[in-house]
Amino acid sequence: METGDFRRLHHQRGFRNPKPTGYHTHSLPWSKKNHVTDLFKRIWRYKTIPPRIKTFSWRLLRQALATGSMPGRFTKHVNQNCQLCGPRCYTDAALSPDDTSGAMRPTGLGIFIFNSNSMQPLAIYIKAKSPAVSSVLMAEATALSLAAKVVRLLHIGQVNYFSDNEILVKLLQRTMPSSHQDWRLKPLLTLFADSNINIDHHMFKIPRAQNLTAHSLVSQAIKLHTQFVCTSASHGNYCPVKEALHFVSWDQLDLLHVKCC
């Protein structure tokens, strides 16, 4: 059989695929493509239908409406596990190396809170001092507990805490056995947990290089006198940070310098 005869026989037996007319509808079966095309033609013939409605119907039939999952491919999504999204709190403490006697020593505390959920982004710098700390870990826990108390008083509903002390972070993440805890840490860890009730919070370990702001506050804490400075233009005559800190009462803890801007 010649090639031409085969093509004529193929055409006579109805093997030729029908070609769709009008607009392309690649995602639909053949039986639905013709139906969609005919329906669109009927809508387009009506002169009384506004062009905007016709365009909408065309997009609807073509499954091209900008709703559902389609715009999600072109918009930004907030990662729920993003450490730098939302309010952040950095803490640090300075204390001479541990000794075997476990004597109480003064320590400097540094807290840096950045609240991006406020009407205007607010940065809070806190320098404090505690004269009754027996270890570096206890000093770090004291700074973190104070920070959690301030966060609660400021009514911050979601916050990420950052510390460069790996042991403290593991204790709060419950990845270290409780038998390894110093009994003197339990009141501080309990205070941290109580301050974060009904607050969506997470604890992260960061290297010292990413905790420079809190570390800088610590190094200045012991040298300063009590002072409060507010340079936020949005606060005016009323500063919510200053108001909240009036309720911070903690034995043997002194707030030396607080600045919000």
Q: Are residues 62 and 155 in the same domain?
A: no
Q: What is the pLDDT of residues 61-112, one digit of tens each?
A: 777 766 655 555 555 555 656 777 788 999 999 876 555 566 777 788 899 9
For residue 144, what are its two tokens?
Answer: 């973190």
- Which structural domain range is residue 155 located in? 88-260
pLDDT for res 6: 47
42 inside domain? yes
For residue 76, what are its two tokens?
Answer: 């930004």
10 inside domain? no
Residue type, 259: K
Domain total in the chain: 2
From 56, 77, 98, the end of a domain falls on 77
12 inside domain? no
Q: Are residues 72 and 93 in the same domain?
A: no
Q: Are residues 69 and 108 in the same domain?
A: no
Q: Are residues 67 and 137 in the same domain?
A: no
13 inside domain? no
pLDDT for res 20: 46
Is 91:214 a contact under the CB 8 Å cutoff? yes
Question: Would you say the pTM of this structure is higher than 0.85?
Answer: no
Strand 254-260 versus strand 227-230 pairing type: parallel
Q: Are residues 174 and 231 in the same domain?
A: yes
Residue 254 has pLDDT above 50, yes or no: yes
Q: What is the pLDDT of residues 100-151, one digit of tens each?
A: 566 777 788 899 999 877 666 688 898 888 877 888 888 899 899 999 998 9
The CA angle 99-105-136, to the nearest 5 degrees, is: 60
82 inside domain? no
Q: Are residues 235 and 177 in the same domain?
A: yes
The CATH number for 133's domain is 3.30.420.10
Q: Are residues 150 and 46 in the same domain?
A: no
Residue type, 242: K
Burial 160-181 (b: 16+ CB within 10 A, else e): bbbbbbebbbebbeeeeeeeee
1 inside domain? no
Sign of the CA dihedral 86, 190, 141, 168? negative
Q: Are residues 110 and 221 in the same domain?
A: yes
Q: Are residues 132 and 253 in the same domain?
A: yes
pLDDT for res 111: 92
231 inside domain? yes
Torsion of CA 218, 219, 225, 227, to 10 degrees: -50
* Of 100, 110, 175, residue with least CA distance to 140: 110
d(CA 9, CA 7): 5
d(CA 162, CA 147): 11
HSE toward the beta carbon, residue 135, CA cutoff 13 A: 14
Share of the chain above pLDDT 90, in %: 16
Count of C-beta atoms within a 10 Å radius of residue 212: 13
d(CA 45, CA 54): 10
Q: Are residues 139 and 244 in the same domain?
A: yes
Range 62-71 contact pairs with CB under 8 angstroms and sequence separation of 24 or more: 62/23, 62/25, 62/36, 63/27
Q: Are residues 253 and 209 in the same domain?
A: yes
Alpha helices in the chain (DSSP H): 3-12, 30-45, 51-61, 136-153, 166-172, 186-195, 212-221, 240-245
